[in-house]
Chains A and B, each alone.
Chain A
Amino acid sequence: MSGVRVLVGTRKGAFVLTSDAKRERWEINGPHFAGWEIYHFKGSPVDPNRLYVSQSSSWFGQIIQRSDDGGKTWHQPGTPPGEPTTTPEGMPKGESNKFVYDTSPEAGKPLTTHQWYDGTPHPWEFKRVWHLEPSLTDPDTVHAGVEDAALFRSTDGGQTWHELAGLRGHGSGPKWQPGAGGMCLHTILLDPSNPNRMFIAISAAGAFRTDDGGKTWKPINRGLHSLYIPNPTAEVGHCVHRIAMNRSRPSVLFMQKHWDVMRSDDAGESWHEISGNLPTDFGFVIDVHAHEPDTIYVVPIKSDAEHFPPDGKLRVYRSRSGGNEWEALTKGLPQSDCYVNVLRDAMAVDSLEKCGVYFGTTGGQVYASADAGENWAPIVRDLPAVVSVEVQTLP
């Protein structure tokens, strides 16, 4: 019988929540990597036993963990303990936690500065991995979106990481600036119909697309309007919080921006607003129904200063028309005195026949709906603050 595995990253460890296809009874497993911040935790679409975790700490930096057995055991995919860390020829062997910007003359780009919060130039410094996106075809290939914003790729299961420097170095890098959470590359979308096409998003630079497998990139922010930057329609500088697509229609993208919910029907070439009747168009998450490409979900948050739901009511809003007309989904969610946030990577959908929708809160709840949002119930209520939620639909 099929089932689901919900992969939860929190401020103090990772948790695995499993259920059969009914999604009524859940087994909670964790914390894994207790005490560490788990910014993201995701499985390979081609091998559900292959899981990748971004484990980080302000004290001890970035670690990548990998499981090859669905989360039963974990290892860092670099050089095993006790083995020499260099080859007989003296070359360093793999170190899973090594992310170094590529400034080599062959493939790399010079490390320029980006803008600091006050507009002054600031040097690029690696801080952590925000998002891991495994390949759609190869379990050993995985992309990492990092802070300070850059994109890395591993083709050996996370042992070694190489920057796709064309993104950071394509020209607008000196104009990028951090959002409140840091200058992070937080969204990576792989186009299932075109292996050379990829979309990424950076706070606060905007969205970018490559059509040549990551060598060259272009900003795709036409139509975005951001009042908090000097030129509201600038090519870069927009605080994009999240982008989502339905795999069956990869040229249609949905975006939750700092303010505004947006839609593109031409692979990001242009965007138009679809906030419609939302009570507020600020928020972090956005996701698309697994089988209905025009059914989208957001969780409106009051404002950029007040990171909690309006009126203390936790409501998921669903549009079944691709935007503009939204309905509040409240059944099973707290409708008074609720002041949690739902962070940008903390919503996911499964691909069971009745699409399941999941999200986690900064209050430590993970909510699930097994009927596309009609009814909600907490899987677990008291985890550390949830940073990311992903779902695997198991055979």
Chain B
Amino acid sequence: MIRVTLPPHLRKLAHVDGEVKLNVEGPVTQRSVLDALETRHPMLRGTIRDHVTQRRRAFVRFFACEEDLSHEPPDAPLPDAVATGAEPFMIVGAIAGG
């Protein structure tokens, strides 16, 4: 079970409280986690990644295990602690403009 935390705006949009728990088939990567998240909550499509390029939106960042994973390749494996559900995969709105 993968745990994902969303910023408040996206939690509201997806009608979820707290963490989202997802089953991910195969390797646990940014791409597979986001694919599973968007399948469960299709209204999040386009809010985290661009619809066409699938690139992370500029003001969105990814953290896990106290590491900034925003610039990791989308198919790189996420830390074991995320894959086992010990730690959440955190989707965070960048702090910009105060």
Contacts and interface: CB of A to CB of B under 8 A. Distances in A.
Contacts of B41: 81
A213 B41 CA distance: 35
A100 B9 contact: no
B40 A82 contact: yes
A98 B46 contact: yes
A35 interface: yes
Interface stretch (A60-68, A136-144, A190-198, A320-328): A60-68
A76 B43 contact: yes
Contacts of A79: 42
Given A59-B9, A60-B10, A98 B45 contact: yes
Nearest to B92: A59
Interface stretch (B23-31, B47-55, B78-86): B47-55
A61 B8 CA distance: 15
A60 B52 CA distance: 15
Contact of A61 (B7, B47, B94): B47
A265 to B, nearest CB: 43
A369 interface: no
B47 A78 contact: no
B34 to A, nearest CB: 13
A36 B93 CA distance: 13
B22 interface: no
Contact of B40 (A76, A81, A93, A97): A81
A81 B42 CA distance: 6
Contacts of A76: 13, 43
A85 B10 contact: no
A43 B10 CA distance: 25
Interface in A77-101: 78-85, 93, 95-100
Contacts of B57: 59-61
A57 interface: yes
A82 B8 CA distance: 20
B16 to A, nearest CB: 9
CB-based closest 8 A-B pairs = A60-B47, A59-B59, A79-B42, A59-B93, A76-B43, A85-B42, A97-B46, A98-B51
Interface of A: 35-36, 57-63, 76, 78-85, 93, 95-100
Interface of B: 7-10, 13-15, 38-43, 45-48, 51-52, 57, 59-60, 93-94, 96
